[in-house]
């Protein structure tokens, strides 16, 4: 009897070690008794390029080659900025969106498209406050372009306003005559 129990224990230990070391995935048991393996996890961009080398290469190329930029600003609501960069030869496009969530800028989309396919950052991981180095670098990169766009807009608005002010001042002929007459009268007295 003792040998029988020891044999059972040894067999159960061998079976346990086999399952542990072979890393057998748990099996899904259907109600009707079928045993199915779970569906394998899909492959993402981060699995193949964990250091995000491609993203850094694209960001550097955008600056070096001065890609065409289109910015759409959403002033009402979420305060998001959609930035679309297109390469000079029109072969590669980068679409991105940064959004202001309660005074915190977050990357809500980053998508690189080329002739042979596209790559996206996984949105679940990047939409929420747990930021990674790559998301922070992308936000800093994009934010420079957003600031530049606002600076350009402010320069144009300043030129337009100065032109309007000068135009209105020039049309105030009566006030100018009155000021000249007052200055002449003040000089004579």
Tokens, residue 66: 């001065």
Buried b (16+ CB within 10 A) or exposed e, 108-126: bbbebeeeeeebebeeeeb
Establish if 135 belongs to a structural domain. yes
Does the pLDDT value for residue 152 go beyond 60? yes
Establish if 69 belongs to a structural domain. yes
Mean pLDDT of 6-35: 69
pTM of the full predicted structure? 0.64
Does the pLDDT value for residue 83 go beyond 90? yes
Confidence at residue 175, expressed as pLDDT on a 0 to 100 scale: 67
The sign of the torsion formed by the CA atoms of 114, 116, 117, 118 equals negative
In the chain, DSSP assigns E strands to 28-29, 35-36, 68-73, 81-86, 93-101, 104-114, 117-120
Establish if 113 belongs to a structural domain. yes
Establish if 154 belongs to a structural domain. yes
Mean pLDDT of 58-70: 93
Can you give the residue range of the structural domain that contains 107?
45-159
How many domains, the chain?
A: 1
Establish if 62 belongs to a structural domain. yes
Establish if 171 belongs to a structural domain. no
The full DSSP string for 124-151 is: HHHHSS---HHHHHHHHHHHHHHHHHHH
Confidence at residue 126, expressed as pLDDT on a 0 to 100 scale: 45
Place of tokens 């980068």: 94
User: Cβ contacts of residue 119 below 8 Å, gap of 6+?
Assistant: 45, 54, 111, 112
Establish if 80 belongs to a structural domain. yes
Establish if 82 belongs to a structural domain. yes
**Could you report the per-residue pLDDT of 106-141, keeping only the tens digit for each?**
888 889 999 998 888 765 544 545 678 888 899 899
Q: How much is the mean pLDDT over the chain?
A: 80
CB 96 within 8 A of CB 77: no
């Amino acid at each position: 009897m003792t040998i029988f129990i020891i044999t059972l224990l040894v067999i159960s230990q061998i079976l346990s070690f086999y399952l542990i070391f072979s890393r057998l995935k748990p099996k899904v048991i259907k109600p009707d008794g079928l045993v199915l393996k779970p569906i394998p996890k899909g492959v993402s961009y981060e699995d193949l390029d964990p250091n995000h080398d491609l993203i850094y290469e694209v960001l550097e190329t955008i600056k070096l080659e001065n890609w065409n930029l289109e910015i759409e600003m959403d002033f009402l609501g979420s305060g998001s900025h959609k930035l679309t960069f297109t390469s000079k030869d029109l072969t590669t496009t980068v679409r991105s969106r940064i959004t202001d969530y309660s005074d915190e800028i977050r990357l809500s989309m980053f998508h690189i498209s080329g002739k042979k396919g596209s790559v996206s950052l996984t949105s679940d991981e990047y939409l929420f406050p747990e930021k990674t180095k790559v998301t922070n670098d992308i936000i800093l990169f994009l934010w420079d372009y957003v600031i530049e766009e606002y600076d350009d807009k402010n320069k144009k608005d300043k030129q337009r306003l100065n032109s309007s002010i000068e135009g209105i001042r020039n049309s105030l002929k009566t006030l100018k005559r009155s000021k000249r007459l007052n200055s002449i009268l003040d000089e004579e007295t």
